[in-house]
Structure 1
Amino acid sequence: MKRIFSSFVRRPVSWRSRAALLVTATLIPASMVSAAPPSPLYGLAWEETFSGTSVDTTRWNFRTDVKALSAQLAANATIANSQLSLLMKQEAVSGKQYTGAGVISKQLFGYGYYEVQARTTTNQGWHNSFWMMAGNGSDTFAAGRYLEIDQSEIDTQSPSSVPSGLQIWNGQAGSGANIGGPRCATYSPGFSTTGALHTYGADWREGAVDFYLDGVKYCTVAYSTTTYRQDPVNIWLTALAYKTPVTVGGTPQIYDTVRFYKRDQYVMNGRYGYSESGSGWLNSTLTGFGLLPQRYSCTAGATATFAPGFNQSGNYRVYIWKLVNPNADTQAEIAVHAPAGTTTTYVNFTSGTSGWVDLGQYNFNTGSTNPAASVTNTVHAGCQRSGAVKFVRVA
């Protein structure tokens, strides 16, 4: 399967043009399918072009649940013309009279810009979505989900309307675990989404999610880091029967190239890029950035390393999350390892307020996770909690 990670042919809407696009949204042609991430500081981190002969099961799970008016079948997710085609059929399966389909990325993603090119099916009664939530497709009410980003939930009776927004869950199994749903006003782009490919984008950043269609930002929804957990999500591309009358035999639901861009690098304990050395590391009952669980050690010399593996070279502002606690280390040794050398800062975690501590600006190069491009937190005295480090790209 062909995948492009550094260069590709596109007709981008430049970041400098975004302000004009926001003012002149009605002038955007319906045929435009190429867009761009919110600024040139974003770099491509992951891409799927669907150029094989079948869904790559090393990268994707199939949606296989039974929900609303259809059962979802792996056989209905096909590849044609370098596009994912989700087929919709009238057939009796698992007590339903229709079958739909979907694929879910095996990889988890965090803050960044999510994008897909899609064309809505002409079949009636279907619910077609580009969305992000933790899960593998076997059950949309599984445990472990906290954030659901619904970039577009298009009901095919209204193909000129694009509902978007968030659903917030408490991580427990079951359909009753929803604790909120801040939504956008339904966006009306002025054209039918069945007529051509269009580019749907969602930028999840610290504190909010921005929604885009063909390069135009049409909504921002807050997602507080002090109120809600900031757990990673999978990418979902789906179609299910939802509302009568339901028809089949029209055009399939098409999803074209999927991309994920990152500007900043966040490493949190227990996630990719995080490692520990030394003894005494335990799970803490306290939460840190984004209400995520913490790890701690009271053993002098124990270290926690945050090494993101940069998808693009550049200058980054580096911060560590400080969780204030009376039994914490008064002289925690925080070392930033950059190509130009190592810079050490000593932070008192017993005083002040909890929050991000600025460790300075550094240049990092593209590369895999390794301690040579990282932040280490070394315990000297007390019990040091290890939570999160962020690398914010500034140039």
Structure 2
Amino acid sequence: MMLYLALALALQPPASEPPRWTGEGYTLAWSDEFTSKSLDTKKWVFRTDSKHWSTQKPENVRVADGFLRLELKKEDAGDKHYTGAGVISKKTFTYGYYEARFKTPPGAGWHSSFWLMTHDGSGGTSPKATNQELDIIENDSISPLGYGVNTHKWNPEPHQSFGGKHVKTPDLSADFHTFGCEFTPATVKYYFDGALVQTVDATKFAHSPQHIWLTSIASQLGRTTAVDDTKLPAAVLFDYVRYYEKKR
């Protein structure tokens, strides 16, 4: 019996490795598990804009101990007094299932996101090159017990949003959680820790190839009045990001 139990335990995935997505007909097509010693620049470019209260710096992106770290600091850069960070996939994707596992930073002041939108190459968030934007998670760290999901139609104009929703959660800065999105020609479905939290009719907007964004900026969003400097420096920690494609 003891030998059987030991073998059973040995075959289980480690606690830090959640089950892979097993949606019908899907296979893993692209991922970054962040197990290397530095960011894989064959897969990613940096977010480099100045927006809201921070300038996003490549130097604030680090891969260590199996995590992507987006480091958040109080320091002057550009015309801002804080620095954030972000990475954008070089590859574009369309229909499939997207998933990331990460932990948000403690303390008020940071808008952390995992989202999908066509990147125009500028290092910033202009929507001129995209049809849709899929916000899988937008968390304002002043409110760690929840996050927003939303679906935007940018082009052709005018801008519209569909299915914006606030999702209540445990403390997102205390532990890692899994955020997912299944995008098909018919629907967009958003998931938290494997549970469906929102469904949007995808036939209401045009579709374009999209990049994966992992970012955190200092911001007034969420009715934030100031950054909590006592919690800095801080970091957003990403365990992995994965894209699954439907078998043909």
TM-score, normalised to structure 2, is 0.86
Whole-angstrom CA distance in 2 between matches of 1:222 and 1:259:
23
Cα displacement (A) at 1:137: 5.7
Could you say if the C-alpha distance between residues 38 and 207 of structure 1 is closer, same or farther in structure 2, counting changes exceeding 3 Å?
farther
Given that 1:122 and 1:250 are in contact with CA atoms closer than 8 Å, whether structure 2 keeps it comes out as: no
Whole-angstrom CA distance in 2 between matches of 1:66 and 1:112:
31
Give the root-mean-square deviation of aligned CA atoms: 2.1
Given that 2:110 and 2:219 are in contact with CA atoms closer than 8 Å, whether structure 1 keeps it comes out as: yes
Residue by residue over 1:19-40, the C-alpha shift from the partner in whole angstroms, topping out at 9 and shown as x without a partner, is xxxxxxxxxxxx9872543624
Could you say if the C-alpha distance between residues 178 and 90 of structure 1 is closer, same or farther in structure 2, counting changes exceeding 3 Å?
farther
Q: Do residues 211 (structure 1) and 194 (structure 2) align? A: no
The answer for the alignment partner of 2:66 in structure 1 is: 82
Q: Do residues 239 (structure 1) and 216 (structure 2) align? A: yes
SS in 2 for 1:210: strand
Rg larger in structure? 1
1:143 to 118, 121, 128: 128
Residue by residue over 1:312-346, the C-alpha shift from the partner in whole angstroms, topping out at 9 and shown as x without a partner, is xxxxxxxxxxxxxxxxxxxxxxxxxxxxxxxxxxx
Cα displacement (A) at 1:149: 0.5
Q: Do residues 166 (structure 1) and 147 (structure 2) align? A: no
The answer for the alignment partner of 2:104 in structure 1 is: 120
1:107 to 91, 98, 109: 91
Residue by residue over 1:92-135, the C-alpha shift from the partner in whole angstroms, topping out at 9 and shown as x without a partner, is 21111111000000000010000001001013210000001010
Given that 2:128 and 2:154 are in contact with CA atoms closer than 8 Å, whether structure 1 keeps it comes out as: no
Cα displacement (A) at 1:183: 2.8
Q: Which runs of 5+ in 1 are unaligned?
A: 1-8, 13-30, 172-176, 265-390
Residue by residue over 1:260-294, the C-alpha shift from the partner in whole angstroms, topping out at 9 and shown as x without a partner, is 00115xxxxxxxxxxxxxxxxxxxxxxxxxxxxxx
Q: Do residues 183 (structure 1) and 160 (structure 2) align? A: no
Letter in 1 for 2:218: A
Whole-angstrom CA distance in 2 between matches of 1:133 and 1:10:
36
Given that 1:88 and 1:101 are in contact with CA atoms closer than 8 Å, whether structure 2 keeps it comes out as: yes
Give the length in aligned residue pairs.
231
Residue by residue over 1:341-392, the C-alpha shift from the partner in whole angstroms, topping out at 9 and shown as x without a partner, is xxxxxxxxxxxxxxxxxxxxxxxxxxxxxxxxxxxxxxxxxxxxxxxxxx4x
SS in 2 for 1:245: coil
Given that 1:123 and 1:250 are in contact with CA atoms closer than 8 Å, whether structure 2 keeps it comes out as: no
The answer for the alignment partner of 2:207 in structure 1 is: 230
Letter in 2 for 1:206: P
Alignment of 1:5-154 (within 5 A): 34-37=18-21, 39-135=23-119, 136=121, 138-141=123-126, 143-154=128-139
| Percent of matched pairs sharing the same residue | 33
Letter in 2 for 1:203: E
Could you say if the C-alpha distance between residues 257 and 84 of structure 1 is closer, same or farther in structure 2, counting changes exceeding 3 Å?
same
Q: Which runs of 5+ in 2 are unaligned?
A: 1-10
SS in 1 for 2:164: coil
